[in-house]
A and B are shown apart, each in its own frame.
Chain A
């Protein structure tokens, strides 16, 4: 009986995931855009439906009305988003479309907080669905049956539409070859718009149907976000049958997880995903020309490649840098404690972002789990510093080594099998596994994290430097971050740096220069992991607390946002982005929701309008282009290296 109950429960969970994942699958299958914001769109749908039906929806049909209204509103929103955002993202690098949809996620989440507030609401199921019935010997909640029914109905509708109808043939033809479909007289922009509207409508419907399934709060977006990605990945990137089967699998695995280790919720799913990605990174049902187009490797935009040549500083620039350095270093004198705290964080975040862009900008690998390396460093230092008082320089070295080691392990496994989105999701899953393990570990403080981490004293035999004051540690942070950043910069303009940019631009060409591309990637991965871990290690004594949030995927997105805002095509772009983001965060800190909306909007505008980021805009305006005699050459700034 217990098993039967669990089985139905698991199926209900799976179908709920499918209801949300169906829309992501549709959009991905058609537009090749992994819409990270879909969970938030779903949340908006739930809130709209909640506004319509209230706390106690009277009947099933009332719940349906709520879903339909939410679906309708979102379909219109989808139409606008298709023309405003998606249409512009179809021909850009995957990483940019991920960031743009992440910006949409921030905007949606912020809007929800602004419009509906931050309270939790529990919606009860309508009376007809509140009970339970016996199916044979098994007692099943009617609401579970309702969700399972809705899931199956949605699947059948999509299955018939996509695989059995004329419209489906047209849709799949466009997904396979948009250009030829146009030549066949098909109005492809219209079909794209309709598909996006359908996907958004489904999200709204799901929002309404699943209202009684969980409480409605601004955190709702998270409950389905990662699971529905997994469904899309396991199912085979855009295949609706695959998504359905993967949803059922996920529900069942989650059920098993609940039975055998209830204290570690969701862990098995991630293990499943990691194993799956390594075994079959293209997904269950992926076949070229099935529901989706083949994977075509797009060459990166030449202007997005950071320079691997040293630039001679003009006296003006050198003066500006010196001025900024003095301003930052003297901060403890003229700013208040709160601001100083933020400034210290910004430096650490900048280092983390630099390490991320070392991989993305120079080698072309986008990881979604960089916070894991950061967290490893932070927990390592926090734990040993607080409980064992190990010498701080030793800890920094240890954290760096640990970063290299973990990145090597991850890289050896991940880089062999995956790239692009699969690599992103794989690293994200590994990060989430780590977070769940930390959450579970009593030694590491579970949910509350490690608090009361002391600031260390540096012992140098003859003399010692006391870093326990905020001021002292801030100065130490300045020196440490600047040193590491400059070392990293030196590496990017070395022979290895030039090998990195060549593998990013054209791995085949690099291979035929005799460069072992895999080894370059792995080395870059290890260095990046080391710097990220070191950033975490520096972070722990500054914050004096390390929580599982440091490891979460949300923190992993921060270096990406910082990098793309500042400009991924520039070594210093991530630093500029971190400063901009921190300033923004500080300026809007008192406005719940509004800060997310504003940051989201800015990121969206930058990604859509100026993919080169802030520094890219600066370069276009010619602000820091050195004037040189070779007037005709469009890229003369780079010639600066050669006298």
Chain B
């Protein structure tokens, strides 16, 4: 599904990514872990198109998308959530979902009607259904600026799902969440993975979440791949224990 080859990225003199290669299969859930500053977020941004690699190539289902803009990657099936949820704080929850659905329709070439003021009824209906799916049906009219951190993440997830992506890219989906929110979001992700067969790539600090969700894990440090494999293999890897898991691996 996604194939990265020899990605290099520098910020000035600092080498942030030093030749990362990875392959994510269709329907696979792939996690990247590693200490802060290891280059996880940079790798993420290179794959989503927010920043361009200095060299290397990225393919999506065989198509070379290395030089495709972020928005064009979205039209090709990428969906992305952020560590701090990016939502439209000046709009209501319903409007946020409507905007996302309309954006998808536009990407698919659906023309809006010339005479109608406001969103089409089918768009509003779809937004309401979506709101129920993310358990926010009771907050439709609320301005998104009043949402809690957890609700924002949930709404962002809803907006991303509205795009009907094939690949879901999630940067720290559970960061800063309360345990119950964390539990909820993990269940949502699991359902997506199992029911809709989405390919998922995520970075995450919470090892429980990582081992709960991922099929494969990649460990990064100083811009390089330290190890790739299943969670059990990673836990058993001495290099990984040294740089990252440390004590945690002992107590796990």
What mask results when residues 70 to 103 of chain B are scored 1 for a CB within 8 Å of chain A, else 0?
1110110011101000111111101100111011
In the complex, which residues of chain B have a beta carbon less than 8 angstroms from the beta carbon of A501? Answer: 88, 90-91, 99
B103's partner among A304, A490, A493, A514 (CB-CB below 8 A) is: A514
- Contact mask for chain B residues 124-156; partner A; CB cutoff 8 A; 1 contact, 0 none: 100000000000000011111110000000000
Are B118 and A493 in contact, with the CB atoms below 8 A?
yes
Residues of A within 8 A of B105 (CB): 495
Q: Are A633 and B86 in contact (CB under 8 A)?
A: no
Please count the residue pairs between chain A and chain B whose beta carbons lie under 8 angstroms apart in the complex: 130
Contact of A641 among B50, B78, B118, B143 (CB under 8 A): B118
User: B48 within 8 Å of A by Cβ?
Assistant: yes
Compute how far the CA of A305 lies from the CA of B124 in the bound complex, rounded to whole angstroms.
21
Tell me if B70 and A303 are in contact (CB < 8 A).
no
Q: Is A516 an interface residue (CB 8 A)?
A: yes
Q: Is B59 an interface residue (CB 8 A)?
A: no
Interface segment out of the listed A100-108, A375-383, A449-457, A505-513? A505-513
Most buried by B among A308, A310, A511, A517: A511
Q: For the complex, is B14 an interface residue (Cβ under 8 Å from A)?
A: no
Report yes or no: A513 in contact with B159, Cβ–Cβ below 8 A.
Answer: yes
Does B118 contact A511, Cβ atoms closer than 8 Å? no
Chain B residues with CB under 8 Å of A517's CB are: 71
Task: Encode A304-336 as 1/0 by CB contact (under 8 A) with B.
Answer: 110011100000000000000000000000000
A638 to B71, CA, bound (A): 28
**Does A490 contact B117, Cβ atoms closer than 8 Å?**
yes
- Chain B contacts of A627 at CB under 8 A? none
Contact at B118–A635, with CB atoms within 8 Å? Answer: no
- With a CB–CB cut-off of 8 A, which chain B residues contact A338? none
Please tell me which one of the listed residues A300, A304, A511, A642 contacts residue B124 in the complex, with CB atoms under 8 A apart.
A642
**C-alpha spacing A303/B143, complex, angstroms:** 9
Q: Are A498 and B94 in contact (CB-based, < 8 A)?
A: no
Whether B118 pairs with A310 at a CB distance below 8 angstroms is yes
Contact residue among A502, A514, A632, A639 (Cβ-Cβ distance under 8 Å from B74): A514
Pick from B82, B92, B99: contact of A639, CB under 8 Å: B92
Taking the complex as formed, is A630 at the interface, i.e. its CB lies under 8 A from any CB of chain B?
yes
* Chain A residues in 8 Å Cβ range of B102: 495, 498-499
- B163 CB-CB contact with A under 8 Å: yes
Q: Are B141 and A514 in contact (CB under 8 A)?
A: no
**B79 — which chain A residues lie within 8 A by C-beta?**
512
From B48, B71, B112, A514 is in contact (CB under 8 Å) with B71
Q: Counting CB contacts under 8 A, is A515 at the interface?
A: yes
Cα(A305)–Cα(B75), bound, Å: 26
B20 to chain A, nearest CB (A): 22
Give the residues from 490 to 534 in chain A that come closer than 8 angstroms, CB to CB, to chain B: 490, 493-496, 498-499, 501-502, 505-506, 508-517
Chain B residues lying within 8 Å of A639, measured Cβ to Cβ, are 92, 94, 140-141
Decide yes or no: A303 and B88 within 8 Å by CB, A513-B103, A630-B141, A633-B141 being known contacts: no
Contact B86 A506 (CB under 8 A): yes
Given A512-B86, A639-B92, A493 and B143 contact (CB-CB distance below 8 Å): no
Q: Check A505 against B118 for contact (C-beta < 8 Å).
A: no
**Bound Cα distance from A47 to B47, whole angstroms:** 61
- A309 touches which one: B118, B160, B163 (CB < 8 A)? B118
| A642 CA to B144 CA, complexed, in Å | 17
Contacts of B100 in A (CB 8 A): 513
Asked if A184 is at the interface (CB within 8 A of a chain B CB), the reply is: no
Given contacts A505-B90, A642-B124, contact A633 B142 (CB under 8 A): yes
- Using A506-B88, A508-B50, A642-B94 as known contacts, list a sample of 4 further A-B pairs with CB atoms less than 8 Å apart, ordered by residue number in A: A502-B91, A509-B86, A513-B163, A633-B143
16 residue pairs bridging A and B, Cβ less than 8 Å apart = A302-B143, A303-B145, A305-B90, A493-B117, A494-B112, A498-B102, A499-B103, A501-B91, A506-B88, A509-B159, A512-B48, A513-B99, A514-B106, A514-B163, A633-B143, A642-B124
Interface residues of B (CB under 8 A from A): 48, 50, 69-72, 74-75, 78-80, 82, 86-92, 94-95, 98-100, 102-107, 112, 117-119, 124, 140-146, 159-160, 163
